Amino acid sequence: EPEVTQTPSHQVTQMGQEVILRCVPISNHLYFYWYRQILGQKVEFLVSFYNNEISEKSEIFDDQFSVERPDGSNFTLKIRSTKLEDSAMYFCATGQTQNEKLFFGSGTQLSVL
């Protein structure tokens, strides 16, 4: 079965540093999402992306966050200046249509020290 691939699986960074989390969507999927889960808390929506632009974002997704598809395949989440509270598991999810179930990647565990 096709799957969403995320790299790296773990990322440790110093506070204030920039990080880029990468996702390779399922090939015929058009809708892309980032979610995160802080340890012990619920999975939270960050942003949705379609047709090379953000279609929706949550209040968590502030100016420190950005997303792009630089080469038409990878879908990236950038955090410009990481904070301690950004430590979480970040999940990429993709869907073929807007009405369909989402396929999630295995996540990137981000630890900000």
Establish if 45 lies at the interface with other proteins (CB under 8 A): yes
| Piece of the chain touching other proteins by CB under 8 A; list 11-19, 64-72, 79-87, 89-97 | 89-97
Q: Of the candidates 41, 53, 71, 84, which one interacts with other proteins according to CB under 8 A?
A: 41
For residue 87, what is the DSSP state? Answer: -
Establish if 107 lies at the interface with other proteins (CB under 8 A): yes
Establish if 25 lies at the interface with other proteins (CB under 8 A): no
Q: What's the length of the chain?
A: 113
Nearer to other proteins, 36 or 86 (CB): 36
For residue 101, what is the DSSP state? Answer: P
Establish if 19 lies at the interface with other proteins (CB under 8 A): no
Nearer to other proteins, 62 or 101 (CB): 101
Strands 10-13 and 108-112: parallel
Instruction: Give the separation between CA 106 and CA 104, rounded to whole angstroms.
Output: 7
Nearest to 26 by CA among 99, 97, 110: 97
